[in-house]
Amino acid sequence: MKKFCFLFLIICGLMVFCLQDCQARQKLNLADLENKYNAVIGVYAVDMENGKKICYKPDTRFSYCSTIKVFTAAELLRQKNTSDLNEIRKFSAEDILSYAPITKDHVADGMTLAEICSASLRWSDNTAANLILQEIGGVENF
């Protein structure tokens, strides 16, 4: 999870400071980051004032997760120690929301905080996102 948040911040910085045409995308060295962190990165941003673009893998399709899920997971990682991520959290069938592709299969056994973060970030699992919000103290503490 920490690697994902770190990569997210790097990508944001690259988009701000490295606006280039799509033809110059090799200069971004995002492939090096993908290799280093065993991740897949895609970027497409447009400067609305001058029309300049930055893109990397612009034709690759990526799953989309709600933006808040990244920040809630980051807050969870800020609050917890690495060992805490192995703690199992139980939840009930009543907690399962309409889009819960991962958590719906773990009502009986629960999931670790790391697994919950993964479900929220990688699969946009809404129940996992709510579990993270509970864990960090709700939106009031966010």
Spell out a b/e string for 74-89, using b for 16 or more CB atoms within 10 Å of the CB, else e.
Answer: bbbbeebeeeebeeeb
Spell out a b/e string for 125-142, using b for 16 or more CB atoms within 10 Å of the CB, else e.
Answer: bbbbbbbbbebbeeeeee
Catalytic residue among 66, 83, 98, 120: 66
Where does residue 117 fall: left (phi above 0), alpha (psi -120 to 50 degrees), or beta otherwise? alpha
Residue located via tokens 């120690």: 81
Residue type at 6 in one-letter notation: F
- Report DSSP state, residue 56: E
- Is 66 one of the annotated active-site residues of the chain? yes
Catalytic residue ranges: 66
